Structure 1
Amino acid sequence: MANEKILVVDDDTNICELLRLYLTKEGYQVTTANDGEEGLEKFNQLKPDMVLLDVMMPRMDGLEVCRRIRKLGNTPVMMLTAKGETFDKVLGLELGADDYMVKPFDTKEVVARIKAVLRRCTVTTSQTESSEGVIEFDNLRLDMNSYELRVKGKVVEAPPKELELLNCLASHPNRVYTRDQLLDEVWGFEYYGDSRTIDVHVKRLREKLAGASDKWELKTVWGVGYKFEVRQ
């Protein structure tokens, strides 16, 4: 049975209770909060293994809570949004969310996605520990243990998902990835065909890596996807 700690933050007490019951039955330790500020307070107190986070809430919305959680570390976050609400999926993922669900949702699917995200994070951690998690090319150093990117020796600030995307590509030089493959590798779930988030992340990475070296390049393979091209 699972024993991870999950924090559910939603102003709908019925949803909180429903998720608490289902997740407790699966063996998770569940804590709930009913607004953004309370959620952030409990996050700091409990240090949960994963957060389920409603988007529209009083006192502080879920996007702001997600932004603040990301400043504190890489705890997995699943965004919850009501059908018909204005929610930019790309924005949520750019802020560092690992997944999202639209209400009304099937509780079994929520449980399945939680398991998938936690499993992916566990695998990523074990791989990082065994391989030391450091990638180096000319004027580029990416350390996934500390989530630190250095370009020409200087630290470059980048959100976790940008670093994970770069790590995925640079770990396999010259291999071409489709957008769907990158979504699956980095976010750990299928994004239902909307691949704009990959293009946005690549664009921002290119801006940060611009002019670093002529020996490698984050390259578009037209009609297919992207690759980290290393030249001889």
Structure 2
Amino acid sequence: MKRLLIIEDEKELALSLESHFFNLEIETKISLNGEDGIKQYNEFKPDLVLLDINLPLKNGWEVCEYIRSKSETPIIMMTARDSELDEIHGLEIGADDYIIKPFSINVLSTKVKKILKLNSQTIYSYKNLIYTYRDEILKIDNERVSLSVREKDLLEYFIKNKNKPLSRSNIL
């Protein structure tokens, strides 16, 4: 199951998004401020972050820069700040996409599904290796291989970043 972290100080919006993505079988966590967002990011290890800019304690710019310094986890900034300069700044510091409030839940949902590749193939195969994302099953030469949680996370990270040079710090 894919994991989504929503860092949004408007509680009603955050709960609405959580409910919507729960129905798409995406595990979600909510943080209502930037400091908790960073803490949840480190503990929850999401596959995608929805990030507001105007947050208490640490703003979205700071949270985005922190996440980007640690990983390549996709980030969609969602904000009422609609200036072109804000959007450019968000993308320059590492956001993968930017959506302006109020937004269509269907548009956001499509962006999330695209980034998480929920509508694409759920099986990765290479030579004699087959990995099924949904069931988290690895088979080599058609024999099932038991994986720890860390091994599964690493395998998925390597598959997601195939053909990309990876630094030791990003892998760690």
Check whether TM > 0.5.
yes
Q: TM-score, normalised by structure 2?
A: 0.69
Distance apart, 1:83 and its partner CA:
5.1
Cross-structure match for 1:36: 34
Letter in 2 for 1:41: K
**Structure 2 equivalent of residue 173 of structure 1:** none
* SS of the residue 1:6 aligns to: strand
Q: Distance in 2 between matches of 1:80 and 1:125?
A: 28
Looking at structure 1, the residues matched to 161 and 84 of structure 2 have their Cα atoms a distance apart, in angstroms, of: 37
- 1:117 corresponding residue in structure 2: 115
Distance in structure 1 (CA, Å) of the matches to 2:85 and 2:32: 19
What residue number does 1:74 align with?
72
C-alpha separation between the residues in 2 aligned to 1:27 and 1:11? 23
CA contact under 8 A between 1:83 and 1:104: conserved in structure 2?
no
Q: 1:146 to 1:57 in 2, by over 3 A?
A: same
Specify whether residues 103 and 125 from structure 1 end up closer, same or farther in structure 2 by C-alpha distance, changes over 3 A only.
farther
Q: 1:103 to 1:87 in 2, by over 3 A?
A: farther
Pairing 1:1-232 to 2, within 5 Å after superposition = 3-82=1-80, 84=82, 88-119=86-117, 126=159, 128-129=161-162, 133=163, 144-146=164-166
Amino acid at match of 2:67: I
Q: Distance in 1 between matches of 2:41 and 2:30?
A: 10
Name the structure 2 match of 1:208: none
| Whole-angstrom CA distance in 2 between matches of 1:127 and 1:7 | 19
Deviation beyond 2 Å, 4+ runs, structure 1: 83-87, 122-129
1 CA distance for matches of 2:8 and 2:20? 15
1:88, distance to aligned residue in structure 2 (A): 1.4
TM-score of the superposition, structure 1-length normalised? 0.52
Aligned-pair Cα RMSD in Å: 2.5
Gaps of 5+ in 1: 134-143, 149-232
- Greater relative CO (CA pairs within 8 A, separation 6+): 2
Q: Bigger radius of gyration, 1 or 2? A: 1
Unaligned runs of 5+ in 2: 125-156
Give the whole-Å Cα distance in 2 for the aligned partners of 1:41 and 1:28: 20
Count of aligned pairs: 132
